[in-house]
Amino acid sequence: MNKLLIIHPKDSSTVFLNSIWSFLLEKFGDKISFYNIAFSDEEHLAVIKELSNYDGENILFLGHGASSGLKGAENEDYSKNIFIGKDELTIFKNKSVLSFSCKSSDLFRYATDFSYIGFDDIPSDMYEVLGAREFESSIYNNVDEDVIEKFKGILVGVISNSVYEWIANSYNIENVYHRIKIRVNNELVNLLKSKEEPNKKKALLNLLNDLKRNMRYHHLVNNN
């Protein structure tokens, strides 16, 4: 059975991700090292140290990201805009990393010394949707708050159950990538059969298809 290190910097906009790690802790508490990073540089540095000393292989990052790095904790008084940047990715050497964060596929795309699953944009609130529409007015057509909440609920289920299998079945990162895609496909089929209002259904289908299409993975040959 795989060990897992989970990192989730605190941020009010990613509280919905709490359901993922709480589920996993309930199922595999003794196999998981968990860091819900609070609002200080000291906490971020402490987790970097724990990462450096981590003797397991598998790492789950939950939170915000950008092409320039994984973001840290944020509230009205504190913001760690770059927690792990491009120049610090060597900390993941020979590890397997599932980074459920925006633009992690772009951040990791030149990485060759660790296995990873990365994502493109994962809109999780209307602030992100409206911000994207400032640059492209037709993007996220028919997406509203109700659609976003349903999308987040689907994502929590997909990631929670895929990571469960990662731990329980000692899967490698390629297995996990395909399990995520299978689960997204199942959600697409269920949605097509549903009686959801047509515009909302189309919006959800587009969000899920975009997520699936833009996922990327790299499996390091010497990783299991």
Alpha-carbon distance of 3 to 59, in angstroms, equals 9
Phi-psi category of residue 140: left, alpha or beta, with phi > 0 → left and psi -120 to 50 → alpha: left
The pLDDT of residue 144 is 93
pLDDT of 224 reads 61
The residue ranges of every structural domain in the chain are: 4-215
3-state secondary structure the chain: CCCEEEECCCEHHHHHHHHHHHHHHHHHHHHEEEECCCCCHHHHHHHHHHHHHCCCCEEEEECCEECCEECCCECCCCECCCCEEHHHHHHHCCCEEEEECCCHHHHHCCCCCCEEEECCCCCCCHHHHHHHHCCCCCCCCCCCHHHHHHHHHHHHHHHHHHHHHHHHCCCCHHHHHHHHHHHHHHHHHHHHHCCCCHHHHHHHHHHHHHHHHHCEEECCCCCC
Pairing of strands 58-62, 96-100: parallel
Report which of 116, 117, 114 is spatially closest to residue 215, judged by C-alpha positions. Answer: 117
pLDDT confidence of residue 137: 76
pLDDT at 214: 96
Cα gap 63→132, rounded to integer Å: 19
pLDDT the model gives residue 132: 85
Hey, what CATH class is 4-215 in?
alpha beta
Measured CA to CA, the distance from residue 183 to residue 208 in angstroms comes to: 11
Whether pTM exceeds 0.85: yes
In Å, the largest CA–CA distance within the chain is 50
What is residue 223's predicted lDDT score, i.e. its pLDDT? 64
Q: Which residues in the chain show pLDDT less than 50?
A: none
